[in-house]
Amino acid sequence: MITIENKILFKDLGTVDYKETWDFQQHLFNQILDLKKTNAGLPVCEQITDYNYLLFCEHPHVYTLGKSGSEKNLLIDPRMLEEKGARFYKIDRGGDITYHGPGQIVGYPIFDLEKLSIGLKEYIHKMEEAIILTLKEYGIASSRLEGASGVWLDADKPDKARKICAIGVKSSRYVTMHGFAFNVNTKLDFYNYINPCGFIDKGVTSMEKELGGKVNMDEVKGFLKGVFSKVFGFAYSD
């Protein structure tokens, strides 16, 4: 059910530097946490509205390593990183190493899960479901892979399984940041320089590769935005 409390502010940031976006996420994340603390001591009629956010963007070439990941999964040195025009950051999400770049929809839901009445496991499941439903709209069958987050193609075939969307999140007091990296028209060569998400025996793919041609990014964003609203049960605020 969509309620007045479950309204989300949506922002498409376009192409933006990774560190700039990370800092912006952290600002919004801290803002929600601070308001939660303030509201906890107030009667309902006096509580301040604490907006939640869904951010979409694309990043220039960058590799990010989660707090539980290993630097050994980055297979190139700083000189080669510079030659490839890529950057590298150790960050505060879960998961291992992944790549972000042009042609990829990166989504950052900064949600108070208490407002949505869900836990972290269900949150990740719903995020995966939104990607699965979006891919279905384009005739691409996808699913989950047991023991791994994200969205996969041919997950039941170990020699063919390939990831099309990576997921890594941070949560504190049920407030989330970071999110998903969905390969639409992504240049997959950049995955050759890492063990994606720590896997050495799994491939990666994109909508472009599966469909045999480039996909309209704005169209995919628009559909995915609508699916998020339906799957999580919220409405967007103007």
Nearest 5°: the CA angle 226, 227, 232 is 110
Give long-range contacts, CB 8 A cutoff, 24+ apart: 140-146. 140/164, 140/207, 140/210, 140/211
Cβ partners under 8 Å of residue 171, min gap 6: 113, 120
Q: Are 168 and 63 in contact (CB under 8 A)?
A: no
Contact 105, 224 (CB under 8 A): yes
Residues belonging to the active site: 197
DSSP state of 106: E
The letter for the amino acid at 234 is F
Dihedral angle, C-alpha 67, 71, 72, 74, nearest 10 °: 110
